[in-house]
Amino acid sequence: MIKSTAPTRIDLAGGTLDIWPLYLRFGNPPTLNAAISLYATVELTPRNDRKIFVESKDLPCQAKFNSIASLPERHPLDLILKTLKYYKPKRGLNIVTSSEAPPGSGIGGSSALNIAIHGALNAFTKKGLSKKQMLETAMNIETQVISVPTGWQDYFPPLYGGVRSVRPDFNGVDSVALPVSLHKLSERMVLCYTGNPRQSGINNWEVMKKVLDGNNAVARKLQKIGQVAREMDKALTLGQMKKVTALFDQEWKVRKALAPTISTPYINKLITGAKNKGAQAAKVCGAGGGGCIAFMVPSTKRESVISELVRLNGQVIPFRFVQRGLRVQTI
């Protein structure tokens, strides 16, 4: 059996601007994110026939097919099936997927699962793709599945781990590992699931169309998000956590102005309650409208903030930031 695991992530600053051609329009700003200890897992078991069995424990959904050639064009497990078609395994297999991220949490669970699937199938078929090739292939397949452009940022944490600055340039997109103490960053952050899957509070496709159509108000807000991301890149590199915290809060305020639906009355209630107990900054993960909220909290206020979030029926998720990325094992 091949077991492939990949971490999810918390986005720190710059999201939305990791989508082509938005990053070109705004001067190639970085996107900052960090891998966390909530993993997507793929278990691949070879078969002695040509049949394909696929199961998602999270949906939940399972399906069985007679061969690769019989895989349908449309299916609830489309991401897995399209990836199988790309790798074209020459023998049958069973694939079982699962994720420790809550559904619609906004912490990159689908991208982590995508990378874990590529890790397993790349090993099984001996296709020999590099990490960069897996990243680009995973992004292109997911774009085809969801029918809108996807950004680059979500694929770097599951592949490489750590705190990363995703940096676009005229010749492509790459990432740099930032010299951040993962232990110290873990101590300062609390992750809370609202209990409701995200509802795409920011529709990146709509934002991109508005920019390309010349909406100056949207462009100004994205310019500000890019500026915050550049400043956070420097602050993280220099270990200036007080400044990182201020920028984290600033990014959230700009995002709310960009798309008010990124927040909800319940999200506002959780953020207000946590700040009243000592949280210094908060930001909804991913597109918002639900999902997870990340809080920057002094270590001395951590327990009181967690107690308040639980009192307000938030689901506090234990986690830590991790250095490891994709891991593929033959068991």
One digit per residue, the tens of pLDDT, for the chain of length 331 reads 999 999 999 999 999 999 999 999 999 999 999 999 999 999 999 999 999 999 999 999 999 999 999 999 999 999 999 999 999 999 999 999 999 999 889 999 999 999 999 999 999 999 999 999 999 999 999 999 988 888 999 999 999 999 999 999 999 999 999 999 999 999 999 999 999 876 544 577 788 889 989 999 999 999 999 999 999 999 999 999 999 999 999 999 999 999 888 999 999 999 999 999 999 999 999 888 899 999 999 999 999 999 999 999 999 999 999 999 999 999 9
The pLDDT, as a whole number, for residue 201 is 44
Torsion of CA 279, 285, 289, 295, to 10 degrees: -10
Neighbours of 270 (CB within 10 A): 23
Please give the structure tokens belonging to residue 5.
């695991």
Phi, psi torsion values for 261, nearest 5 degrees: -75, -5
Q: Where are the alpha helices (DSSP H) in the chain?
A: 22-25, 78-87, 109-125, 131-146, 156-160, 182-187, 204-212, 216-238, 241-258, 265-276, 302-311
State pTM to two decimals: 0.95
Q: For residues 323 and 182, is the Cβ–Cβ distance under 8 A? A: yes
Tell me the domain boundaries of the chain. Answer: 2-179+322-330, 184-316
Please report where in the chains the tokens 């078991």 appear, as a residue: 45
Q: 184-316 adopts what CATH topology?
A: Alpha-Beta Plaits (3.30.70)
* C-alpha to C-alpha distance for 139 and 257, rounded to whole angstroms: 28
For the four alpha carbons of 146, 147, 153 and 158, in that order, the dihedral sign comes to positive
Q: How many CA atoms lie within 13 A of 278 on its CB side?
A: 15
Helix (H, G, I), strand (E, B) or coil at 282: strand
Structure tokens at 74: 């449309």
Which architecture, in CATH terms, is 2-179+322-330? 2-Layer Sandwich (3.30)
- Identity of the amino acid at 122: N
pLDDT at 288: 85
| 168: CB partners within 8 A, 6+ apart | 18, 20, 23, 24, 28, 29, 30, 152
Sequence-distant (6+) residues with CB within 8 A of 49 are 91, 92
The residue whose two tokens read 């938005």 is 22
- Per-residue confidence (pLDDT) for residue 51, from 0 to 100: 98
- How far apart CA 254 and CA 207 sit, in angstroms, is 14
User: Following DSSP, what letter does each residue of 290-301 receive, concatenated?
Assistant: SSEEEEE--GGG
Closest CA to 61 of 92, 90, 123, 103: 103
Place of tokens 């200890």: 37
Q: Is the CB of residue 7 less than 8 Å from the CB of residue 324?
A: yes
Question: Tokens for 161?
Answer: 């781990």
Of 9, 305, 303, the residue nearest 156 (C-alpha): 9
The alpha-carbon radius of gyration of the chain (Å, integer) is 20
